[in-house]
C-alpha cells in the first residue's frame, strides 16, 4: 500500500498494513519511493501521512 507524506509529498510504501490499521501504533515502518532502487526502511508517524488523494487517514487508524 502507498501513502504520501503530508509535508514533503513523497510517496511512502507501507511495509506492514497491520501497523497502519492498528490505532495503538502511532508509527509505521515504510520506505520512500524515490527512483528505481528500494530505499532504506524508516519509521513514519501516521499523523504525517495521507492517502495519495490528499485525504487524511481514518481517525480509527490514528487515534488511541
Q: For residue 14, what pLDDT is reported? A: 97
Q: For residue 63, what pLDDT is reported? A: 82
Domain boundaries, the chain: 2-53
Q: For residue 62, what pLDDT is reported? A: 87
* Mean pLDDT for the stretch of residues 24-37: 92
**DSSP sequence for 5-55:** ETTT--EEEES-HHHHH-TT-SEEEEEE--SSSPPPPEEEEGGGEE-TTSP
**pTM exceeds 0.85:** yes
Q: Is the pLDDT of residue 22 over 90?
A: yes
Q: Is the pLDDT of residue 35 over 80?
A: yes
Amino acid at each position: 500500500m502507498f501513502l504520501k507524506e503530508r509535508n514533503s509529498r513523497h510517496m511512502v510504501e507501507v511495509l506492514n498494513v497491520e501497523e497502519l490499521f492498528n490505532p495503538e501504533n502511532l508509527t509505521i515502518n515504510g520506505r520512500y519511493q524515490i527512483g528505481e532502487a528500494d530505499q532504506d526502511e524508516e519509521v513514519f508517524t501516521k499523523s504525517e501521512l495521507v492517502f495519495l488523494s490528499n485525504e487524511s487517514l481514518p481517525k480509527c487508524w490514528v487515534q488511541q
